[in-house]
């Protein structure tokens, strides 16, 4: 089992030579192949509402963004979309929304209906809630929960998440694990003031927490957010918010946690044409095609120009597109629900 020292991780994150970075990606790719194989698990992403009560300063759907039209899908629309996820042949639906869009009871009902009608793993990505709410959703049948830390640098976390402190989120992640969820988290790379050292600490923290899935993307400035404006007005970052930097974090994640699930994120695909493929070749083993109906999708603008590849509500079309794409990379679509299978203890 590969345990790199903090100093080694920092050294690799700071490495400026592309050739050395390529070697890092190859190393991560070999570990990916050995521990999770060539299957790429597909998760149908449903962004069921862009209503949010939070003030996160990087996110385009924060409650201060009054220019954005808000929507919430009806339970019938959500069930129809879940049916499409099944038709596309995916084993998991990811229900994502802003926070407080639907009541805990409404979300419970949706989980119950999906689990009674379809053979799907349900991943929730709906923000911070009291333990009893997470417990209720687990009892209703939810399998997994995504709650990103975004950064573990305390003062930066506080700046970008004005509503609640980092320690609460870490407690929630521990709680989600205790409740039996497969638990996902992750960070953004290239936030203003973020340091290489803090990313190394984030990786070690996520490893310590025994997280089951880790999604990383570059920070993409959104012009209607305070943090986005800072960058667009010329402020530079210490850590570059580039594809290569995000790929290095993906690769280090795989090296440090060989058997977890790692998505090739839409944020990486958005900053570079080769992003999706490059992450799959640097440790990632998951894709999350967007199954949100087109009429809503354009309003789920957490950052601008979210890359449209693999967004299609026609299940047959997306199935074919993804299958051909994976074949071209020498990989195959995953079978079953694609949960974490431990190969290391
Ligand atoms: N840039 C990059 N990623 C972002 N996210 C939200 N806003 C941005 C942004 N401006 C990511 C966060 C969040 C996920 C749903 O999208 O990591 O957890």
Query: pLDDT (tens digit, 9 = 90+) per residue, 187-238?
Result: 999 999 999 999 999 999 999 999 999 999 999 999 999 999 999 999 999 9
What phi and psi values does residue 242 have, to the nearest 5 degrees?
Answer: -110, 170
pLDDT at 310 over 90: no
Question: CA-to-CA distance for 309 and 164, rounded, in angstroms?
Answer: 34
pLDDT at 277 over 70: yes
CA dist 149 to 128, 161, 203, Å?
11, 10, 11
Q: Write down the pLDDT at residue 307.
A: 63
Protein residue closest via CA to atom 18 of ligand 1: 148
Question: CA-to-CA distance for 332 and 323, rounded, in angstroms?
Answer: 7
Q: Write down the pLDDT at residue 314.
A: 87
pLDDT of 234-255, one tens digit each?
999 999 999 999 999 999 999 9
Residue 96 pairs in a beta bridge with 47, 125
Residue 94 pairs in a beta bridge with 45, 123
What phi and psi values does residue 235 have, to the nearest 5 degrees?
Answer: -65, 140
CA of 2 to the centre of ligand 1 (A): 29
Q: Write down the pLDDT at residue 1.
A: 54
CA of 163 to the centre of ligand 1 (A): 16
| CB crowding 246-268: b at 16 or more within 10 Å, else e | bbbbbbbbbbbbbbbbbbbbbbb
What phi and psi values does residue 184 have, to the nearest 5 degrees?
Answer: -115, 145
| Ligand 1 pocket, Cβ-based, cut-off 6 angstroms | 58-59, 148, 150, 188, 217, 219-220, 222, 267, 302-303
Token look-up 């003031």 returns: 193
CA of 151 to the centre of ligand 1 (A): 11
Protein residue closest via CA to atom 7 of ligand 1: 59
Question: CA-to-CA distance for 248 and 281, rounded, in angstroms?
Answer: 11
Among the atoms of ligand 1, which is closest to the Cα of residue 148? 18
Would you say 41 and 91 are in contact if contact means Cβ atoms under 8 Å apart? Answer: yes
Axis-axis angle for helices 243-256, 6-14 (nearest 10): 150
Mutate to test the pocket of ligand 1, among 49, 211, 267 (most ligand atoms within 8 A of CB): 267
pLDDT-derived band at 2 (thresholds 50, 70, 90) equals low
Q: Write down the pLDDT at residue 191.
A: 98
pLDDT-derived band at 311 (thresholds 50, 70, 90) equals confident
pLDDT-derived band at 3 (thresholds 50, 70, 90) equals confident
Q: Write down the pLDDT at residue 344.
A: 84
Protein residue closest via CA to atom 2 of ligand 1: 219
String of DSSP letters for 182-221: EEEEEEEES-TT--HHHHHHHHHHHHHTT-SEEEEEE---
pLDDT at 48 over 80: yes
CA of 125 to the centre of ligand 1 (A): 12
CA of 302 to the centre of ligand 1 (A): 6
pTM over 0.75: yes
CA dist 86 to 43, 94, 113, 202, Å?
10, 12, 14, 35
Helices (H), the chain: 6-14, 18-36, 75-87, 104-117, 131-140, 154-160, 166-178, 196-208, 226-232, 243-256, 266-271, 275-280, 294-297, 315-328
CA of 106 to the centre of ligand 1 (A): 25
Q: Are strands 286-287 and 39-49 parallel, antiparallel or unpaired?
A: parallel
CA of 219 to the centre of ligand 1 (A): 7
Mutate to test the pocket of ligand 1, among 302, 303, 306 (most ligand atoms within 8 A of CB): 302
Please give the mean pLDDT across all residues of the chain: 96
pLDDT of 16-39, one tens digit each?
999 999 999 999 999 999 999 999
CA of 216 to the centre of ligand 1 (A): 9
Q: Write down the pLDDT at residue 319.
A: 87
Among the atoms of ligand 1, which is closest to the Cα of residue 225? 10
Mutate to test the pocket of ligand 1, among 54, 217, 307 (most ligand atoms within 8 A of CB): 217
CA dist 120 to 91, 97, 285, Å?
5, 19, 19
Would you say 284 and 326 are in contact if contact means Cβ atoms under 8 Å apart? Answer: no
């Amino acid at each position: 089992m590969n345990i790199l020292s903090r100093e080694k991780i920092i050294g690799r994150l700071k490495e400026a030579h592309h050739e050395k970075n390529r070697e890092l990606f190859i190393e991560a790719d070999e570990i990916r192949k050995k521990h999770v194989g060539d299957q790429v698990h597909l998760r149908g992403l449903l962004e069921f509402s862009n209503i949010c009560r939070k003030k996160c300063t990087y996110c385009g759907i924060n409650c201060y963004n009054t220019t954005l039209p808000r929507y919430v899908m009806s339970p019938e629309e959500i069930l129809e979309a879940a049916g499409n996820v099944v038709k596309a042949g995916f084993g998991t639906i990811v229900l994502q929304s802003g926070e407080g869009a639907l009541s805990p009871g409404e979300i419970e009902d949706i989980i119950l209906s999906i689990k009674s009608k379809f053979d799907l793993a349900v991943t929730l990505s709906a923000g911070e809630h009291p333990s009893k709410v997470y417990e209720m959703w687990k009892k209703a049948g939810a399998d997994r929960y995504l709650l990103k830390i975004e950064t573990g640098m305390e003062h930066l976390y506080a700046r970008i998440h004005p509503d609640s402190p980092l320690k609460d989120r870490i407690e929630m992640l521990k709680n989600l694990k205790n409740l039996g969820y497969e638990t996902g988290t992750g960070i953004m790379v290239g936030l203003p003031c973020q340091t290489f050292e803090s990313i190394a600490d984030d990786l070690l923290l996520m490893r310590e927490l025994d997280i089951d899935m880790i999604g990383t993307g570059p920070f993409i400035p959104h012009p209607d957010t305070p943090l986005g404006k800072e960058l667009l007005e010329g402020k530079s970052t210490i850590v570059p918010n580039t594809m290569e930097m995000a790929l290095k974090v993906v690769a280090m994640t795989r090296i440090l946690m060989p058997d977890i699930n790692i998505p090739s994120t839409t944020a990486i695909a958005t900053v570079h044409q080769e992003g999706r493929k490059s992450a799959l070749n640097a440790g990632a083993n998951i894709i999350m095609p967007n199954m949100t109906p087109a009429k809503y999708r354009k309003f789920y603008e957490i950052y601008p120009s979210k890359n449209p590849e693999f967004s299609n509500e026609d299940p047959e079309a997306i199935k074919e597109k993804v299958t051909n794409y994976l074949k071209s990379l020498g990989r195959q679509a995953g079978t079953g629900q694609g949960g974490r299978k431990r190969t290391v203890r």
